[in-house]
Amino acid sequence: MANVVGTPLKRKEDPRLLTGNGRFSDDIQLPGMLHAAILRSPHAHAHIKKINAEAALKLPQVVAVYTGKDLEGKIGPIPSSWLVPDCNLKEAPQYPLAIDRVRYVGDGVALVIAEDRYAVRDALDLIDVEYEALPAAVRQKEAMQEGAPLVHDDIEHNIALHWKAGEIADEVLESAEVVVRESFYVQRVFPSPIETRAAIGEYNPGSGELTLWCTSQNPHIHRMVLSGVLGISEAKLRVIAPDMGGGFGGKIGVYPDEALIGYAARDLGRPVKWIEQRSEHFTASNAGRDEVIDVELYGQRDGALTAIRVKNTANLGAYLSTMGPGVATIDFGLMITGAYDIPHASCETFGVYTNTTPTDAYRGAGKPEATYQIERIIDLYAREIGMDPVELRRKNFAPKEAFPYTNAQGLIYDSGDYEKPLQKALEIVNYEQLRQEQEEMRKQGKLIGVGISTYVELCGFGPSKVAGAIGFQGGVWENSTVRVHPSGKVTVYSGTSPHGQGHATTFGQIVADKLGIPMDDIELVFSDTRAISMSWGTYGSRSTPVGGAAVAIAADRVVEKAKKIAAHELEAAADDIIFESGIFQVKGVPGQQRTFQEIAKAANMAWNLPEGMEPSLEAQSFFDPENFVYPFGTHIVVVEVDKETGEIQMKRYVCVDDVGRVINPLTAEGQVHGGIAQGVGQALWEGAVYSSEGQLLSGTLMDYTLPKARFFPPIESSFTETPSPVNPLGAKGVGETGTTASIPAVMNAVMDALKPYGVKDIDMPLTPEKVWRVIQEGEGN
Amino acid sequence: MIPVKFDYVHAATVDQAIKLMQDSDGTGKVIAGGHSLLPLMKFRLTEPDVLIDISRIDQLKEVKVEGERLIVGALVTHHDASKHPLIQAHVPLLADTASQIGDLQIRNRGTIGGNLAHADPAADLPAAAFALDAEIIIQGEDGEERMSVDSFIIGPLITMLPENSLVTGVSFSIPPSHAKSVYLKYFHPASGYPVVGVAAMAGTDKAGAIDYIKVALTGVGDVAFRAESVEQTLLGQKPSEKMIREAARLAAEEGEMGSDLFASAEYRENLCKVYTERALRSILL
Ligand SMILES: Cc1cc2nc3c(=O)[nH]c(=O)nc-3n(C[C@H](O)[C@H](O)[C@H](O)COP(=O)(O)OP(=O)(O)OC[C@H]3O[C@@H](n4cnc5c(N)ncnc54)[C@H](O)[C@@H]3O)c2cc1C
């Protein structure tokens, strides 16, 4: 088999998952297993005066109740893993259970362990906690004001960090003919994977080994952090991520909950299982976004953009989450110029503590926000100078010749040709005609809008020295081992941790091509710290460009060694061996050949290897990319707004993405679809609503609208391919592009539809009522 | 999402169900499709000691014509109601409404009797029931009684169902054969329940004047209601765009508009008007 890379193979994972043969956390049943539940604070901010668990402990099936005080000195605080430098970062310790003060609705107060799920749930109701409620700081800008309630007494104005990047000289700003200003709110949303979080701990008192199955996108990060929190050697802590129903960033974080379950399993000497409830998920799992972005775009009347100045005030919640500090700073602030060659840029970010659930990376993490503000403001700029938004974008694109292109904030974009997907998308929607139709419809009183977003995003973090420089408490390289068995069947180990993306298929395709063997001969192993060398997991669209690249390199190494063995057997020089479609052949001597399977056997038997060669056929690689990758593309959305109700209907959704080399067009398109669904979800439906006391009002799926398939028109997705030079696959990330691109595309479309009313911005989500009110006002009702 | 501990019994007959209710001394609850009751139990908002399962009483699954009325057994599911030939033929409004409830799984389990007995202000069926002058058929300790739907449902999740009794069926008036009907629903994007649901029926006489009209709305407030002002304005008139628009302006007159995270009272009032207008246009123009 060869040339399967680039073909739309169906996912290898699906038959197993669709026939109910997946193994998710809740499928795991261990002998003697106990069940855990966590009592969570109903207050956003309160002193804990007293906890009385007597009644709960009297239930015959209840085994233990732990409070924050019980655990003091036994489990350490949960640290953040992104300590952004030079921003006066103030990290407040987050203990696995609150000790004397709760700081958000959902903050853990007690851990209950019982023989079964029912008893543990009953016990929660029997624990009596006496609280003294305190005023809460809920919204970031208010929380920074003098006199606002302090989330942590010693952190003034609740400011967790104050970060700046870039400076713009006064002359630059003064010489601009046009300034367009707007304040955007990228509201808080919930990642809402279809499977909530879970953890199962099992302690072996003989070996002293603790095994933790948990819903983690990055088991090695969990192991690294939890070994510190629990005081256990990394060599004795095994973290396994079973099958997972999505993550979207919400399962990157190391949460108090996993630490508690690991602790309880060790303390009680029995396995303990905890499954997060759906309603619990809304307050106990990290949320995404929640950034107020004030932006000013400067330039000339002819459309030449000269500078962008941005202030981001980010709600970090009550504690710093695992990735939280990096999202509104590094991820956001260095990408504010987007795809445009704007020579001057500056970003100032305040990260603010509030009495809300912590925020963390969520699909795109900072890049959707950066893209949102630039793609929205550029539309407003076009409107201001009376230019078509496509033309203004074109005029300011970082030109193809400039790649690798250094943006105003110093990032080097690896490769790009922004005109290409734009042109293709314009052709697909038939832009000129669309604009004419829009005019005609407007005359008939219909509100049609066309929205464009020409995005670029950064992903596939690397190299590790950059990660270190930006305060990330980890590396960003990846690891893979390709192990060839005597039969020629292959096991591939990868440090990425798929949870719906389909790596077994795409990585399998990479290996199938490299080794010339059928897909069915390749098994992939992920997500187990005992099986897999140190690595960093799946997030930030890094898995293919970094993890897939590591797989490719390891496979190349296998071929290299196999060639030497083949040369030895065929009595030729290794350089004279050609390897194609699984056959080693001596150049120019047809018939003189060995199959991959024959060499696999020879290598493993080691009866006749070249002098000095070690037995077996296996190679490992550790790949640290030289740079990030920067996928880009154009999304165009056509909407119709119902004048009488404000309802928005998407008529068309066209996207042309350039994610470098596409390994599997089918799974890539799947990623694009899912990404778009979540981005449009943010634009139109999703949004956390807190009361001024910090109560979450949108805490069920009856109130919080997740996107549904029937809300969407068919997504017209296609790709252009501009390979990345920074990895051997030429691949870029694809997991987050849809989210990044779609939020502003949809918003721009609706704003375009509402243009007759002069409206420039409406806070997301664009509920029909908000839109209706704007129309009512515009119509003078 | 785990309810408190409860017992479960199943009743083979209506009488047995009533006996079991009496035995439970007010701590039992009837379960039909379970699709409204179980979510409440899982949230621990209701904590019955015993569930009395009536879902296997076949007698409550019948549909039959009785003179001018169609009797639908309490246990007829939404799905069956949407497909039943007698219902489709005689009260298509009910079939149309039932077909728009929740999704297929819910329609397969949820029952007509349960929907009305539950009296969820956001439910779809009350609109059809109000428009079709439904009577709730109740079997209690002292025999059978019938109650008009507007005297049965009196508040959000509140009905006049007497203690230890069962809804056995619902009787709908059969509209004249020339009447057309429609159920127009604005789906809440999260829950799928109606933010507003308009059940409308109307017909015109030979001269083209409206001689039959019923309009009822659900989802907007605590209880469904008949839009009598709309009906009165249009009765006897020849339908026109203008006429309908003006009449539809009165759609919220008899109702009290509720307000929640998704839609304010003012916006709901607007939806009542717009959806009533659209519903009436679709059957009258
Ligand atoms: C996800 C979801 C979405 C839904 N969407 C919609 C929607 O869009 N529109 C809509 O209208 N509904 C919707 N429903 C509700 C659904 O229609 C319910 O099934 C129905 O309202 C109740 O019927 P049931 O048979 O399930 O009642 P149950 O849940 O069994 O009972 C509900 C209540 O009625 C009582 N009861 C039931 N039957 C009788 C009887 N014969 N006599 C006396 N008391 C009785 C019970 O004691 C209980 O108090 C939805 C439900 C779910 C779970």
Indicate if B168 and B211 belong to the same structural domain: no
Q: Which amino acid, A123?
A: A
**Which tens digit of pLDDT belongs to each residue from A309-341?**
999 999 999 999 999 999 999 999 999 999 999
Radius of gyration of chain B (CA): 19
Indicate if B73 and B145 belong to the same structural domain: yes
- B125 Cβ inside 6 Å of ligand 1: yes
Residue B270 in any domain: the answer is yes
Question: Given strand A305-317, what is the order of strands in its sheet?
Answer: A159-165, A344-353, A305-317, A288-299, A178-189
Closest-approach residue (CA) in chain B for A120: B2
| pLDDT over 70 percentage in chain A | 100
Q: Name the helix (H) or strand (E) containing A129.
A: strand A128-133
Query: From the first residue on, what is the mean pLDDT of each consecutive set of 10 residues in chain B (285 residues)?
Result: 94 97 95 97 95 97 98 98 98 98 96 98 98 98 96 97 97 97 97 97 97 98 97 97 97 96 97 98 97
Contact between A458 and A331 under an 8 Å Cβ cutoff? The reply is: yes
Give the Cα separation of A211 and A218 in Å (integer).
Answer: 15
Residue B1 in any domain: the answer is no
- Closest-CA distance of chain A to residue B25, Å: 24
Asked if pLDDT for residue A121 goes beyond 50, the answer is yes
Question: Given strand A490-494, what is the order of strands in its sheet?
Answer: A522-525, A490-494, A478-484, A617-623
Of A459, A535, A456, A465, residue with least CA distance to A494:
A535
Indicate if B38 and B82 belong to the same structural domain: no
Name the CA dihedral angle for A167, A168, A169, A170, rounded to a multiple of 10 degrees.
-120
| β B7-10/B50-53 pair status | parallel
Residue B101 in any domain: the answer is yes
Asked if pLDDT for residue A591 goes beyond 90, the answer is no
Contact between A646 and B264 under an 8 Å Cβ cutoff? The reply is: no
- Closest-CA distance of chain B to residue A687, Å: 11
Q: Residue A1 — very low, low, confident or very high, per pLDDT cuts 50/70/90?
A: very low
Q: Give me chain A's average pLDDT, please.
A: 97
Contact between A81 and A221 under an 8 Å Cβ cutoff? The reply is: yes
Indicate if B42 and B142 belong to the same structural domain: no
Strand partners, B63: B72
Contact between B69 and B171 under an 8 Å Cβ cutoff? The reply is: yes
Confirm whether pTM is higher than 0.95: yes
Of A656, A619, A663, A612, residue with least CA distance to A635:
A656
Closest-approach residue (CA) in chain A for B268: A769
Residue B2 in any domain: the answer is no
CB contact under 8 A, B189 and A125: no
Give the Cα separation of B186 and A642 in Å (integer).
Answer: 13
Contacts with A772 from chain B: Cβ below 8 Å:
267, 270
Indicate if B206 and B146 belong to the same structural domain: no
Q: Is B4 on the interface with A (CB under 8 A)?
A: yes
End position of a domain, from candidates B173, B202, B223: B173
Count of beta carbons in the 10 Å neighbourhood of residue B85: 9
Q: What is the DSSP string of A246-265?
A: --TTTTTSPPHHHHHHHHHH
Measured from the Cα of B29, ligand 1's closest atom is 47
Residue B97 in any domain: the answer is yes
Task: Supply the CATH number for residue B238's domain.
Answer: 3.30.390.50
Indicate if B160 and B218 belong to the same structural domain: no
Which residue spans within A318-458 are E strands per DSSP? Answer: 344-353, 405-406, 412-413, 447-456
CB contact under 8 A, B190 and A279: no
Indicate if B90 and B103 belong to the same structural domain: yes
**Which tens digit of pLDDT belongs to each residue from A40-95?**
999 999 999 999 999 999 999 999 999 999 999 999 999 999 999 999 999 999 99
CB contact under 8 A, A689 and B261: yes
**Which tens digit of pLDDT belongs to each residue from A345-359?**
999 999 999 999 999
Note the ipTM here. Answer: 0.96
Question: Given strand B166-173, what is the order of strands in its sheet?
Answer: B63-66, B69-73, B166-173, B135-140, B143-148
Of A38, A117, A189, residue with least CA distance to B42:
A117
Give the Cα separation of A261 and A250 in Å (integer).
Answer: 18
Backbone angles phi, psi at B67, to 5 degrees: 65, -120
* Torsion B39-B42-B47-B53 (CA) sign: positive
Residue A481 has which token pair? 């081992």
End position of a domain, from candidates B148, B173, B198: B173
- On the 0-12 / 13-18 / 19+ scale of CB atoms within 10 A, A689 is middle
Asked if pLDDT for residue A104 goes beyond 90, the answer is yes
Question: Given strand A632-641, what is the order of strands in its sheet?
Answer: A447-456, A632-641, A648-658, A715-719
Indicate if B265 and B209 belong to the same structural domain: yes
Of A211, A742, A288, residue with least CA distance to A529:
A211
Backbone angles phi, psi at A36, to 5 degrees: -120, 150
User: Average pLDDT in the A678-688 region?
Assistant: 98
Q: Which amino acid, A261?
A: I
- Closest-CA distance of chain B to residue A706, Å: 7
Cα(B116) to centroid(ligand 1), Å: 8
Q: Which amino acid, A60?
A: P
Cα(A192) to centroid(ligand 1), Å: 26
- B84 Cβ inside 6 Å of ligand 1: no
* Torsion B200-B206-B210-B213 (CA) sign: negative
Burial A255-280 (b: 16+ CB within 10 A, else e): bbbbbbbbbbbbbbebbbbbbbeebb
Question: Helix, strand, coil shares of chain B as percentages rounded to 5?
Answer: 35, 25, 40
Task: Supply the CATH number for residue B41's domain.
Answer: 3.30.43.10
Indicate if B90 and B121 belong to the same structural domain: yes
**Which tens digit of pLDDT belongs to each residue from A558-579?**
999 999 999 999 999 999 999 9
Indicate if B262 and B213 belong to the same structural domain: yes
What was the pLDDT predicted at A286?
98
Q: Name the helix (H) or strand (E) containing A307.
A: strand A305-317
Asked if pLDDT for residue A594 goes beyond 60, the answer is yes
Residue B83 has which token pair? 């497909």
Q: How big is the CA angle at A617 (ends A611 and A622), to the nearest 5 degrees?
A: 110
Strand partners, A448: A640
Q: What is the DSSP string of B100-145?
A: TSS-HHHHHH-BHHHHHHHT-TT-SHHHHHHHTT-EEEEEETTEEE
**Which tens digit of pLDDT belongs to each residue from A433-465?**
999 999 999 999 999 999 999 999 999 998 999
Q: Which of B261, B264, B275 to mutate to test the interface with A (most CBs of A within 10 A)?
A: B261
Residue B70 in any domain: the answer is yes
Residue B139 in any domain: the answer is yes
Domains contained in chain A, CATH given: 14-134+195-245+251-284 (3.90.1170.50), 291-461+627-780 (3.30.365.10), 477-623 (3.30.365.10)
Q: Residue A305 — very low, low, confident or very high, per pLDDT cuts 50/70/90?
A: very high
- Closest-CA distance of chain B to residue A489, Å: 44
What was the pLDDT predicted at A781?
81
End position of a domain, from candidates B158, B173, B188: B173
Residue B185 in any domain: the answer is yes
Task: Supply the CATH number for residue B83's domain.
Answer: 3.30.465.10
Contacts with A773 from chain B: Cβ below 8 Å:
267
List residues of chain A with CB under 8 Å from any CB of chain B: 117-118, 121-122, 125, 277-279, 644-645, 685, 689, 697-698, 701-706, 708, 711, 767-769, 772-773
| CA–CA distances in Å: residue B52 to residues B24, B75, B78 | 9, 14, 21
Indicate if B222 and B269 belong to the same structural domain: yes
Q: In chain B, how many domains are there? A: 3
User: Average pLDDT in the A497-518 region?
Assistant: 97
CB contact under 8 A, A769 and B263: yes
Count of beta carbons in the 10 Å neighbourhood of residue A582: 18
| CA–CA distances in Å: residue A188 to residues A161, A766, A769, B245 | 19, 14, 19, 40
Indicate if B280 and B200 belong to the same structural domain: yes
**A481: Cβ contacts below 8 Å, ≥ 6 apart:** A492, A493, A532, A533, A554, A618, A619, A620, A621
What was the pLDDT predicted at A2?
59
Asked if pLDDT for residue A218 goes beyond 70, the answer is yes
CB contact under 8 A, A277 and B264: no
Residue nearest to atom 14 of ligand 1 (CA): B102
Contacts with B186 from chain A: Cβ below 8 Å:
645
Contact between A409 and A211 under an 8 Å Cβ cutoff? The reply is: no
Domain hosting B11: range is 7-53
Q: Is B5 on the interface with A (CB under 8 A)?
A: yes
Residue/partner pairs of B55-62 with CB below 8 Å, 24 or more apart = B55/B10, B55/B31, B55/B111, B56/B10, B56/B11, B56/B12, B57/B11, B57/B12, B57/B13, B57/B14, B57/B17, B59/B13, B59/B14, B59/B168, B60/B14, B60/B113, B60/B168, B60/B169, B62/B169
What was the pLDDT predicted at B1?
82
